[in-house]
Structure 1
């Protein structure tokens, strides 16, 4: 090979190698960057009514118990047990492995080491106590002040359980996203002081589906890389792995009232409510937190149904909820 040609080839190869090295080095330096966000004026209450409301939200529509327990505890949840939210549930994604934290008030391993303001900032502004951005797994940014207070009050009222949970383990892809793309998600405008009254209204359903129960989060197609929405809201199509069968996937159905592709477009309100009272999942391993949603009041379930039926229809055929995994 002629020296000039060799130099050109080496130079051509060096450019992407240097770029990759620069990306990796910068990602390693920036992935744990910190952010500023206000601390909401939220303080835990010992009032029994506030704590009871927090219990309803945590164990029902907000389904905190679904993520902040481990899968071997779910049969107990399905039977109606109220368990300590000791965390440890693992979510394995291309960007890393995420482990849910201990939400009991233990002062060494749980939220006992955090102030009310730090917890409220995490839930509303997606900024952790150390200032780092939290990935957008929870939809509580627009939750009302009263409901946020109720949730923190309930968590504070529980017995502390010492349970050390490992830190998240990010892949290089995950560190790259954290370094360059992921930023905290805050509320849209000023969150309300109070939530819509607990009645079967469209307003109540909209609040629950978007700001508490996270129907929009799972029933909207999202990027497997960073969780950003890439589909129409509530039109389904989000793909989730079956942890017990790598050859299968779950695909969330279209919840809009499209006559041809909407899963519940032809359901009556009574059928919708009845499905939430069935003590089982349609498919073993489904990510739908039926055990938590079964605890919702009839009025709240009806409110969600009425809100979903008020949406504009979106034609999006998602296929069966449980499918064969496509070949790579």
Structure 2
């Protein structure tokens, strides 16, 4: 008995030392800094370039909805063009992420950042101070022309002084950063100089993967690391939104039995986006996507219909607490 107690004491002691060492490692190394190239970006005062940037910011790239306070995001959802003052909070496992002020204010916004620094955030998810940014913005492979257009629009806004508290990582988040599970990733090869805007599969692929982030939400992912863990566009990602209400993203591949839009016509697809929000707390940025023009929507549809079918039945996409367990 004494030997067993002694043995257990040694085990507990060793485990305690291991835990202490790991905790120390996390707190000493989580605040990593990274380096990456600075893209050759340059803002323009050209009205057509600014207009393209505004379309992307309020439309398919849906920057305006995330880079605003909750109240202002609701106004953007209704069609108002408001400055991107930041302030949205995203609460999830690793901590609280806060969107930044993207107006040209020099104290609290991007006024003191160069165009190249802003482009590096978009392309590599690295802040101007070298900190890694959680991979919520899928702009690594956005074309040079569109990166410049977005920056051009951001520079054209009125500067708004709106300080934002820094993102807060809990121990889990710090451990993920310390272990390098969240680290910057750059483009897949050389991003295109420009992409022709037309109702084609090529342009649809670009929108779905490099602008609108359809792939990010409509694919199985590990929400701790952001890694894809299943076939892309096959749905199944869970969003717990309002208390008692959750959403599961549908399968967007053209599987005839389980694909959500497999039997939709192209016109039906376009009309669904133009209709806008149906469920109040749906995580889909319907306000932004309802602003997309028909060329972009038809390109998206044609790309999604070109995907390999994946059999992945999603029983329901919206669940209410009182309906839990029902189909």
Contact 2:108 2:163 in 1 (8 A): yes
CA RMSD of aligned residues (A): 1.4
Task: Provide TM-score, normalisation by structure 1.
Answer: 0.95
Partner of 2:186: 186
Distance 1:8 1:300 in 2: 67
The one-character-per-residue Cα deviations of 1:267-311 (angstroms, maximum 9, x if unpaired) are 000000001111x41211111011111111100000000000000
1:97 alignment partner, SS class: strand
- Return 304-313 or 104-113, whichever deviates more: 104-113
**In structure 2, what is the equivalent of residue 298 of structure 1?**
294
List structure 1 runs of 4+ shifted beyond 4 angstroms. Answer: 324-327
CA distance in 1, matches of 2:9, 2:216: 47
Once residues 117 and 92 of structure 1 are traced to their aligned partners in structure 2, the CA distance between those partners, rounded to angstroms, is: 30
Structural mapping, 1:77-116, within 5 Å? 77-116=76-115
Q: Which runs of 5+ in 1 are unaligned?
A: none
SS in 2 for 1:309: helix
What's the secondary structure of 2:246's corresponding residue? strand
TM-score by length of 2: 0.95
Moved more, 14-23 or 57-66: 14-23
Q: Answer yes or no: is the 8 Å Cα contact 1:55–1:151 preserved in 2.
A: yes
Alpha-carbon contact 1:124-1:140 (below 8 Å) kept? yes
Unaligned runs of 5+ in 2: none
Per-residue deviation at 1:15? 1.6
- Shift in Å at residue 75 of structure 1? 3.7
Deviation at 1:324, TM superposition (A): 4.7
**Where does 1:61-80 land on structure 2 (aligned, <5 Å)?**
61-80=60-79
Q: CA deviation at 1:76?
A: 2.0
Counterpart Cα distance in 1 of 2:213 and 2:172: 26
Q: How many residues align?
A: 322
Task: Give the Cα–Cα distance (whole angstroms) in 1 for the partners of residues 24 and 87 of structure 2.
Answer: 30
Q: CA deviation at 1:72?
A: 2.1
Equivalent residue number for residue 175 of structure 2: 176
Offset of 1:100 from its aligned partner? 0.5
Q: Is the 8 A contact 1:95 1:170 kept in 2?
A: yes
- Aligned twin of 1:263: 260
Alpha carbons 1:95, 1:226 under 8 Å: kept: no
Once residues 123 and 74 of structure 1 are traced to their aligned partners in structure 2, the CA distance between those partners, rounded to angstroms, is 21
